[in-house]
């Protein structure tokens, strides 16, 4: 027999015990993060607490950053769903410039909500900082294309606007130490979030010649 050519469904090719272990590991990781913060989550510690071998952890997630990427994944999917199928102005139905503004606002909130984990998905190996940034770039590119801002090079502009949106937070350009578990949750961060989002809106409006 041939194997089924179209194995549609979830992440197929994953055995039941493997899937169970993945869930368990993610759950334990969430606990450890809640208790002691992201920095204290080590591969050995996670494996021991989950009563699994270290090798298993690496088999599931490949790398330490992989764990945090997996943790981010679910929320990221939900976010992307809201962007592509949710109500306007974030979702389709509004004009491109309001959608860009709304996207920036939502993305900033998302990144700040997930600040500690998002930061932990970065490490000095993989060339790709986060899958999320790629989605941002493509979405911005698409909306810019609709807005027709009359620029020579939409691709470069999309990249730069992506960096303008995600960079300030991902780079932690001004943030404190990485072991600040709940740092960005103060009132200061709240107002900064608003300022950044407003500034983003101004930026895209000017780029698109609205104003």
Partner DNA sequence: GACCTAAACGGACTTTACCCCGCTTGATAT
Partner DNA sequence: ATATCAAGCGGGGTAAAGTCCGTTTAGGTC
Closest distance to a second copy from the beta carbon of 49 (Å): 22
CA distances to 31, 80, 114, 124 from 38, rounded to whole Å, are 10, 24, 11, 17
3-class SS of residue 94: strand
Q: Which residues here bind DNA, judged by CB under 7 A?
A: 1, 13-18, 21, 41-45, 51-56, 58-60, 63-65, 123, 125
Q: Is 187 in the site for a second copy (CB under 8 A)?
A: no
Contacting residues for 170 by C-beta, under 8 A, at least 6 apart: 111, 118, 119, 122, 129, 130, 133
**Among a second copy, DNA, none, what does residue 156 contact (CB within 5–8 Å per kind)?**
a second copy
Find the part of the chain contacting a second copy (CB under 8 A) among 15-23, 54-62, 75-83, 147-155: 147-155
Closest distance to DNA from the beta carbon of 25 (Å): 9
Closest distance to a second copy from the beta carbon of 52 (Å): 24
Find the part of the chain contacting a second copy (CB under 8 A) among 5-13, 26-34, 75-83, 162-170: 162-170
Q: How far apart are CA 21 and CA 37, in angstroms?
A: 22
Q: How far apart are CA 50 and CA 26, in angstroms?
A: 10
Torsion sign across C-alpha atoms 76, 78, 79, 80: positive
Binding site for a second copy (CB under 8 A): 120, 122-125, 127-129, 133, 137, 151-153, 155-157, 159-168, 170-178, 192, 195-196, 198-200, 202-203, 206-207, 209
């Amino acid at each position: 027999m041939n194997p089924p050519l179209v194995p549609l469904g979830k992440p197929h090719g994953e055995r039941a015990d493997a899937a169970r272990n993945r869930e368990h590991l993610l759950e334990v990781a969430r606990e450890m993060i809640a208790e002691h913060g992201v920095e204290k989550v080590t591969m050995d510690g996670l494996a021991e607490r989950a009563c699994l071998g270290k090798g298993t952890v690496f088999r599931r997630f490949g790398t330490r950053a992989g764990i945090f990427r997996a943790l981010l994944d679910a929320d990221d999917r939900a976010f992307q769903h809201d962007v592509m199928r949710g109500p306007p102005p974030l979702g389709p139905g509004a004009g491109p410039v309001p959608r860009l503004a709304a996207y920036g606002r939502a993305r900033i909130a998302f990144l700040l909500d997930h600040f500690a984990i998002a930061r932990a998905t970065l490490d000095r190996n993989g060339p790709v900082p986060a899958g999320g940034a790629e989605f941002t770039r493509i979405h911005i590119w698409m909306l810019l294309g609709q807005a027709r801002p009359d620029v020579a090079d939409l691709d470069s502009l999309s990249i730069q606007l992506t960096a303008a949106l995600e960079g300030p937070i991902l780079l932690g350009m001004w943030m404190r130490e990485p072991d600040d578990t709940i740092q960005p949750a103060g009132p200061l961060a709240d107002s900064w979030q608003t300022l950044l989002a407003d500034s983003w809106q101004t930026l895209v409006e000017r780029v698109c010649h609205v104003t």
